[in-house]
Chain A
Amino acid sequence: MQELITVKQLTCRHGVVEALSDISFSVSSGDYLGIVGPNGSGKSTLVRALLGLMPAYHGQISLFGQSRDRFSAWERLGYLPQNLGPLNPAFPATVFEVVQLGLLAGKTLPKRLCRHDRKQVLEMLERLDVGHLQQRMIGELSGGQQQRVMLARALVNNPELLIMDEPTAALDPEIRDRFYELVAQMNKDKGTTVLLVTHDTGTIGQYASRMLYLDKRVLFFGSFDEFCHSPEMSAFFGEHSQHLICHRH
């Protein structure tokens, strides 16, 4: 299986504070990796380092076998950020216009969209049950609707790798469950590789095949079965917490 992400001895700093220390792991094609850990454990820093949004780091990061610094095949990757905080609520774009931005990575200048691209955008909006919102302004939508639109933007290019940072933080429980099911279905049916950052340890165990437990360093990396049967992890987390994460209670 092809390794889509390879991280070796990664160390990241925020100024003088070490946010991540000696991180090594890999993600293969078809994996569903859940990255979990407490607040401030460096989960988002890791994602930002992977995507080149945090330039200063030591160690090696490869995406699709290519060094991150030289990586340019962004059309193979979809990204859903932690929240839409930086989004200007008065931004004058319709839902359709926002989702079509997800197709730019595969285009060459002047990056114009053709009829097929428009069809692709409409199909993705329909798949995520937001087709009826296509002409609405993005700033007028509820948090859950915005998140689904942003997911549509991340998926419209049919990426091989989907990276999501706390995607369910703003969602109510019912929509959150549907969101997880949708991503799991994509992983299963289309073979989309998923890397999902969450602190929702109780839910991720139902969906992810592998887990990276992070607290500035890697505490555990492996399959859920390995985690659930590991005496070291039982000793570290306590049996109750371990069962909650494994979702076998």
Chain B
Amino acid sequence: MTILELFSYGFMQRALLAGILIGVLCAVLGVFLVLRRLSLIGDGLAHITFGSVALALFAGLQGAAMLLVSLPVVLLASLGILKLAGKARLGGDAAIGIVSSVGVSLGVLLAVLGRGYGVDLFSYLFGSILAISQAELLVAGGLFVTVMALLWLYYNDLVALTFNEELATVSGVRVRFLNGLLAALTALTVVLAMKLVGVMLISALLILPASAALQVARGFRMTVILSVLFSLVAVVGGIMISFLFNLPSGATIILLAFVIFCSGYLFRQLQTVKNRS
């Protein structure tokens, strides 16, 4: 099969388009989350997504309609993590741990109660981007535009917040609002990314491209651009390789992202040695 033939399939076109949208979102958000040491919020929200998917399946919903349950549940959970961390004398890691374990427990409980949809739930654990429907793609497109517009609007405020929260406050940046916004945008992205790489691997898609970019970039803007580039190579390459060699797409994407991260790390080490000599 040639590459051109690969692109002629409708499902492949949808998968690549959705993959590109989700990959760009994860790459941009990932830079802020990794630098703010909030990488694991993606993992926690992914576990909540698992619970919300189980809830949607339990309610008899399928396909894009499941997002009607997942989106509000995960959005609320993201704000819940912030509240818990702020009010309950907990660190962010403990708040994420509490909320994510509740999500998984809810998912397992509903899976047992609802019997019969174990296979569906499994596809959400590990992703099934090649099975993305037209309606799901439309929702992904709408959310992509929303998240990117908000990121564009608040980009400089988010950079200031990421650099130093106190200095950002004294520059008039609305820190509490932005922390909430970042958590909410992450929630929307995580729900979308579930279809691409699955609940188990979402946080890797947030962390790996941004971490690879941090190895080689010189400047914040360049970090964001490289993170997007690396994410796209991993997502598009991963989808194509997984189709050609009949491999699971989510795992292939993440392993490719890991190879890119290792290359970035090696590049940095070589640069350091070169600069010393």
- The answer to whether B219 and A97 touch across the interface, beta carbons within 8 angstroms, is yes
Question: Size range of the interface on A?
Answer: 20 to 34
A101 and B160 in contact, given A75-B172, A110-B153 (Cβ under 8 angstroms) = yes
A91 and B35 in contact, given A74-B172, A101-B163, A104-B173 (Cβ under 8 angstroms) = yes
Closest Cβ neighbor of A110 among chain B residues: B153
Q: Does B170 contact A (CB under 8 A)?
A: yes
Q: Does B217 contact A (CB under 8 A)?
A: yes
- The answer to whether B164 and A93 touch across the interface, beta carbons within 8 angstroms, is no
Instruction: Give the shortest distance, in Å, between A15 (CB) and chain B (any CB).
Output: 12
Within 8 A of B (CB), among A42-89: 51-53, 72, 74-75, 77, 79, 81, 86-88
Instruction: Give the shortest distance, in Å, between B135 (CB) and chain A (any CB).
Output: 32
Chain A residues, Cβ within 8 Å of B165: 86
Closest Cβ neighbor of A48 among chain B residues: B166
Instruction: Give the shortest distance, in Å, between A230 (CB) and chain B (any CB).
Output: 34
- The answer to whether A104 and B164 touch across the interface, beta carbons within 8 angstroms, is no
Instruction: Give the shortest distance, in Å, between A77 (CB) and chain B (any CB).
Output: 7
Instruction: Give the shortest distance, in Å, between A112 (CB) and chain B (any CB).
Output: 7
Chain B residues, Cβ within 8 Å of A74: 170-172
Closest Cβ neighbor of A72 among chain B residues: B172
- The answer to whether A109 and B35 touch across the interface, beta carbons within 8 angstroms, is no
- The answer to whether A94 and B219 touch across the interface, beta carbons within 8 angstroms, is yes
Instruction: Give the shortest distance, in Å, between B141 (CB) and chain A (any CB).
Output: 22
A93 and B166 in contact, given A105-B171, A110-B154 (Cβ under 8 angstroms) = no
Q: Does B131 contact A (CB under 8 A)?
A: no
Question: Size range of the interface on B?
Answer: 20 to 34
Which of B157, B163, B166 is within 8 Å of A98, CB to CB? B163
Closest Cβ neighbor of A78 among chain B residues: B170
Within 8 A of B (CB), among A90-135: 90-94, 97-98, 101-102, 104-105, 107, 109-113, 135
- The answer to whether B218 and A101 touch across the interface, beta carbons within 8 angstroms, is no
Q: Does B221 contact A (CB under 8 A)?
A: yes
Q: Does A137 contact B (CB under 8 A)?
A: yes
Which of B35, B152, B219, B222 is within 8 Å of A110, CB to CB? B152
A81 and B167 in contact, given A91-B35, A111-B157 (Cβ under 8 angstroms) = yes
Within 8 A of A (CB), among B144-173: 152-157, 159-160, 162-167, 169-173
Chain B residues, Cβ within 8 Å of A101: 156, 159-160, 163, 167, 171
- The answer to whether A104 and B163 touch across the interface, beta carbons within 8 angstroms, is no
- The answer to whether B153 and A104 touch across the interface, beta carbons within 8 angstroms, is no
Q: What would 21 A/B residue contacts be, using CB atoms closer than 8 Å? A: A74-B171, A75-B172, A81-B166, A86-B166, A87-B163, A90-B214, A92-B35, A92-B213, A92-B219, A93-B220, A94-B218, A98-B163, A101-B167, A104-B172, A105-B171, A111-B156, A111-B157, A113-B156, A137-B218, A137-B219, A153-B167
Question: Given A104-B156, A110-B156, list of 7 further CB < 8 A pairs?
Answer: A79-B167, A86-B165, A86-B166, A91-B162, A92-B220, A104-B157, A110-B154
